[in-house]
Amino acid sequence: MSKFILPFLLSLVLGFPAAAAELDDARAAAVSILQKLEQGKRKEVWKSDVSDWFKQRMTEDAFLANTTVVNAQLGGAGTGRKLIQQNQADGNAMSGYKGAVYSFMFGTTFP
């Protein structure tokens, strides 16, 4: 088994419901999204978890291809996921995103 630290700025890639105002709710949503991706439920993630903001910047086909490649490179579902860092901000000047931004970095073991 190898360890891989996987940083996710999920708020920019995958949208959280507006009700996820609390950091704990956003973290739970991030973990749920990671689990769906590991289970190969990429289309479900695109339809239910990817924000409109992100969909304006990437096609569904590109998202599905990118997540398929990443999953293949990691060798399967992660285990032993540990939260390394979490942050909350109001917007992201670099991307132009306006709204709540939650970022999480997980240390995860992959096969």
Q: Is the pTM of this model over 0.85?
A: no
> Across the strands, what pairs with 88?
102
**Amino acid, single-letter form, for residue 51:** S
**Rounded CA separation 5/27 (Å):** 16
> What is the rounded (10 degree) CA torsion for 44, 48, 52, 54?
-50
Count Cβ atoms within 10 A of the Cβ of residue 53 and give its class: 0-12 exposed, 13-18 middle, 19 or more buried. Answer: middle
**Rounded CA separation 13/8 (Å):** 8
Tell me the pLDDT tens digit for each residue of 26-81: 889 899 998 898 899 999 999 999 989 889 999 999 999 999 988 888 887 888 88
